């Protein structure tokens, strides 16, 4: 079904007017004052049992920021619903009092997308963490938003199935957060992003109405409303249930690691692999700094003398993988590597991927502070982009560790700094801005999978013209006329 109302009881007026008891409190981001504030909190407490609502400053401090810690704000309250009806009642109350809200999962966002709005509340969905059903015949999983990404594949594994999107934080990030930011991961080259695996969802709109979007197949008639919600960063409402597409475990998986003297050689190898007509499940590159960090953190066994490593993985039917792997091996060996390693079993393969997936957190072993960027350039300009990042890093006086999804040009440069030094964060942010400007100039995007959030909203107007931004804003207001759902994110002031 598309746009079907499931829960509309006790909805407020739909003309955007606040309830009389909310007089003077109706603008998003403007904290209810005095008696109105106390009345709002009292009524919020009627929705949640003890322990499921936090107002103590020490409790609220946990929710002040997400994975990008340079942005912080303290919410008015945090609620932890277990059922969709609690979310609906909460949003009706927020609409009545004009209180903004932010839905949050594990808080692993790297763009400030789940930072609270001053005067607003956080709806923490971690307790809505049930896998409601797995249908092996139709290859579906129905889950609540607080389910951890990796838990879906674990539950589906008994049926020979798995959930393909695999962001680096998959052992902690939630499906709801993946939906909000259209997360991808190392294997998005072949299998696509979250949007390619969400078939349907139940969403509470900002006025408290619970609707069902999409369905349980790829061929549902009508507009792709789930696709509209995926990547909207929580600005259309709160997702409370998601129907996911599962895939059969591949018959064969082959993984290799190639080490190179220089980063540009690894980039040229990627171009050669693509030119040969080979479609890997994943192609990932790490430079020397990222290698050092991964080895310090998890001891993945990467060659420490390499300037860069390339990880390539093929999967699919055994005969097809074997044929493609022989071609891949010939291309890689012809690209001038220092060394080529083949993962002999699942244990070795998992060790190779553990180093790559640990790269972001591992940088903390070699730097007191770091800032992660997330830009995209056309694959054909990858070498040029990496050379320019190297020049920009030298000009700004920073070390940059490069980790990226080479197959689709999604860059994740990590800017390393000592946050005890004066103005160092501001200087690092200027370098990050220069890298984003470069991505736009080269015909790419300001984000591949981390979202716009607070961090990149000033760049949106550089990527889109005024008419395009106006259409985006109009679409947002069609779902949320008062802009109570995660306001202040994504769009420039």
CATH architecture of 4-127: 2-Layer Sandwich (3.30)
Check whether 484 has a pLDDT greater than 60. yes
182-230 pLDDT tens trace: 999 999 999 999 999 999 999 999 999 999 999 998 877 788 999 999 9
Helices 288-298/346-357 angle, 10° precision: 110
Whether pTM exceeds 0.85: yes
Check whether 289 has a pLDDT greater than 60. yes
CATH topology of domain 252-441: Vanillyl-alcohol Oxidase; Chain A, domain 3 (3.40.462)
| pLDDT band for position 437 (cuts 50, 70, 90) | very high
Cβ neighbors of 309 (< 8 A, separation 6 or more) are 257, 258, 259, 260, 266, 285, 286, 291, 302, 303
pLDDT at 116: 97
| pLDDT band for position 31 (cuts 50, 70, 90) | low
Check whether 26 has a pLDDT greater than 50. no
Tell me which CATH code domain 131-248 carries: 3.30.465.10
Domain extent listing, the chain: 4-127, 131-248, 252-441
| pLDDT band for position 49 (cuts 50, 70, 90) | very high
DSSP β-ladder status, 238-245 and 198-204 = antiparallel
249-282 pLDDT tens trace: 999 999 999 999 999 899 899 989 999 999 999 9
Q: Do residues 167 and 183 lie in contact, with contact meaning Cβ atoms separated by under 8 Å?
A: yes
Mean pLDDT of 294-307: 91
Q: Do residues 103 and 445 lie in contact, with contact meaning Cβ atoms separated by under 8 Å?
A: no
Tokens at residue 101, please?
A: 């809200």
Helices 318-333/263-275 angle, 10° precision: 130
How high is the mean pLDDT of the chain? 91
Q: Say if residue 219 is exposed, middle or buried (CB neighbours under 10 Å; 0-12, 13-18, 19+).
A: exposed
Mean pLDDT of 132-157: 98
């Amino acid at each position: 079904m598309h746009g079907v109302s499931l829960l509309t009881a006790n909805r407020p007026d739909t003309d955007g007017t606040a309830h009389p008891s909310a007089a003077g409190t109706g603008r998003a981001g403007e904290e209810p004052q005095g008696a109105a504030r106390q009345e709002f909190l009292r009524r919020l407490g009627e929705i949640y049992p003890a322990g499921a609502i936090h107002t103590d400053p020490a409790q609220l401090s946990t929710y002040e920021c997400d994975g990008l810690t340079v942005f912080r704000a303290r919410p008015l309250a945090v609620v932890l619903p277990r059922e969709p009806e609690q979310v609906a009642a909460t949003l009706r109350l927020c609409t009545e009092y004009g209180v903004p809200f932010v839905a949050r999962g594990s808080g692993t966002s790297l763009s400030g997308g789940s930072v609270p709005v001053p005067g607003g509340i956080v709806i923490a969905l971690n307790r809505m963490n049930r896998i409601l059903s797995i249908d092996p015949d139709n290859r579906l999983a129905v889950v609540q938003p607080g389910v951890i990404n990796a838990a879906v594949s674990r539950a589906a594994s008994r049926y020979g199935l798995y959930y393909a999107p695999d962001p680096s934080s998959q052992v902690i990030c939630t499906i709801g957060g993946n939906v909000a930011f259209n997360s991808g991961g190392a294997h998005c080259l072949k299998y696509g992003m979250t949007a390619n695996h969400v078939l349907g969802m139940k969403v509470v709109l900002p006025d408290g109405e619970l609707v069902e979007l999409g369905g349980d197949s790829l061929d549902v008639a009508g507009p792709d409303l789930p696709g509209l919600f995926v990547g909207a960063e929580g600005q259309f409402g709160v997702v409370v249930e998601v129907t996911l597409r599962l895939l059969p475990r591949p018959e064969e998986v082959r993984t290799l690691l190639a080490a190179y003297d220089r980063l540009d050689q690894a980039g040229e190898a990627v171009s050669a692999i693509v030119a040969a007509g080979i479609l890997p499940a994943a192609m990932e590159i790490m430079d020397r700094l990222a290698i050092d960090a991964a080895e310090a953190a998890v001891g993945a066994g990467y060659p420490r003398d390499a300037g860069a490593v390339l990880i390539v993985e093929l999967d699919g039917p055994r005969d097809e993988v074997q044929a493609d792997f022989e071609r891949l091996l010939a291309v890689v060996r012809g690209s001038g590597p220092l060394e080529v390693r083949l993962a002999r079993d699942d244990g070795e393969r998992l060790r190779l991927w553990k180093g790559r997936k640990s790269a972001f957190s591992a940088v903390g072993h070699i730097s007191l502070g770091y800032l992660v960027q997330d830009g995209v350039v056309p694959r054909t300009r990858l070498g040029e982009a990496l050379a320019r990042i190297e020049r920009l890093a030298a000009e700004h006086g920073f070390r940059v560790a490069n980790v990226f999804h080479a197959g689709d040009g999604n860059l994740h440069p990590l800017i390393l700094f000592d946050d005890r030094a004066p103005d160092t964060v501001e200087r690092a942010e200027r370098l990050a801005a220069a890298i984003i400007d470069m991505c736009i100039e080269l015909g790419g995007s300001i984000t591949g999978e981390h979202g716009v959030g607070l961090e990149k909203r000033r760049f949106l107007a550089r990527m889109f013209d005024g008419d395009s931004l106006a259409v985006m804003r109009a679409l947002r207001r069609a779902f949320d006329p008062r802009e109570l759902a995660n306001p202040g994110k994504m769009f420039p002031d």
